Amino acid sequence: MKRYYTCLFLILFTLQAPSWADDIRDFEIEGMSLGDSLLEYFDLDEMNNFYVAIYPSSDDYKGYEIPQSLSKIKFSTYESITVNWKKKDKKMRIVAISGIKLYPNNLEACLKERDKTAEKIKKILNNAKEERYEMSWGKDSDSKGYVIDLLIESGSIRVWCTDWDEKTEKENNWEDDFNVSIDSKEYIYWLDNIAYN
């Protein structure tokens, strides 16, 4: 299917996109889509400076968090992005990508952006199934995620806010954040059933 080169930023905030998208690869974050090679955007030397995502139960997939400060690409919407690919894929084709924007101690404003963004995406996706839920970040944490999943046959777009507890913020130097994630169906299964078990 023909890929639409309208950035996710434009899709979400100006609605300059077709109202009939039915493939998760039609969406972009900071100009990148699922199926693109990470090597089209970054060279291996540059990648050595990115933060490595660690999954405790499996290394079938690899990932990087890329803050704006470490990227040669100028981000237009997000302060950092996270990308994932299959470990054995030498072309490093993206299977999941997310954009992160900080909302320090402002959950109310973050939730408003989450809801507004999810509504705009739903108008573009054909027959998206919506799931809303809260998730916690472990036994010893009071941190919470406020999630909206928009599911279609080829994958999902997840929009959420994370309200980190004070201990987690201090220990990791983290701040509350807004996230939009585009994930392939295969990656979602691995993340939900293998990566942390």
C-beta separation of 101 from 77 below 8 A: yes
* pLDDT of the residue at 21: 58
CA–CA separation, 78 and 75 (whole Å): 6
* pLDDT of the residue at 111: 97
C-beta separation of 182 from 96 below 8 A: yes
Type of residue numbered 122 = K
Rounded (5°) CA angle 76-117-196: 90
- Give residue for tokens 């996109």: 17
Q: Classify residue 37 by its DSSP letter.
A: B
* pLDDT of the residue at 39: 96
Q: Which residues pair with 131 in a beta bridge?
A: 149
Please list the pLDDT of the chain residue by residue as tens digits (197 residues).
Answer: 333 333 333 334 333 344 455 678 889 999 999 999 999 999 999 999 999 998 999 999 999 999 999 999 999 999 999 999 999 999 999 999 999 999 999 999 999 999 999 999 998 887 889 999 998 876 778 999 999 999 988 899 999 999 999 988 898 889 999 999 999 999 989 988 999 88
CA–CA separation, 104 and 44 (whole Å): 32
Region label for 105, one of left (φ > 0), alpha (ψ between -120 and 50) or beta (otherwise): left
Name the 3-class secondary structure at 55: coil
Radius of gyration of the chain (CA): 16
Longest dimension (CA), the chain: 46
For the record, the structure tokens of 135 come out as: 């998730």
* pLDDT of the residue at 197: 83
For the record, the structure tokens of 105 come out as: 């101690």
